[in-house]
Structure 1
Amino acid sequence: MKKIPNKFRMVIFVFFMTLFIGLIMSAIMTWRIEGLSPDFLASWIVRFIQTWIIVIPTVAVVIPIVTKITNKLVENEN
């Protein structure tokens, strides 16, 4: 399988991180609001899409900030 070039590493990271966070958080919130209702799957997908629209740009903005904070708190390897 041909790999994606390294310059797209952060885009791929953000895609998968937000995908998994969005799926997990929307499932938890749907379950807390509705329980395991007959419409759970449909409601979950709707909430996931609504969540993902917010999570993608949020993570894209927050990652550089968190990286800077982390770099100030953690020693560099030399």
Structure 2
Amino acid sequence: MIPARFEPALFALLLSGLMSLVVSAISTWRSAGLAEGFPRLWLGAWLASWLVAFPLVLAIAPIARRAVRRLVRSDQENSR
């Protein structure tokens, strides 16, 4: 098993990988259609987008967490 201290990085890796996989598939399909060589085009687009997405998720996740904390009431506030 992977140590718990790597959880944020592993989460970012999986999230960015899956999201970039889906988004690049849609983008490649919209621009090239289901043309011959689609899987190769898609793989190239996916790998390039994942290289950008992973560091961005690592950098943006703390900002997003802080924003969510400000937007969501705590359980103590809800019980009043």
Considering the TM-score relative to the shorter chain, is it more than 0.5?
yes
TM-score by length of 1: 0.91
Match of 2:52 in 1: 54
Instruction: Say whether residues 1:18 and 2:37 are aligned partners.
Output: no
Identity %: 29
Q: Deviations over 1:4-62 (max 9, x none)?
A: 11111101100100110110011000000010011100000000111011111111111
- Structure 1 residue 77: deviation in Å? 3.5
Unaligned ranges ≥5, structure 1: none
TM-score by length of 2: 0.89
Count of matched residue pairs? 76
Q: Displaced runs of 4+ in structure 1, greater than 4 A? A: none
Map 1:39-78 → 2, pairs under 5 A:
39-77=37-75
RMSD: 1.0
User: 1:52 & 1:70 partners in 2: Cα distance?
Assistant: 24
The higher radius of gyration belongs to 2
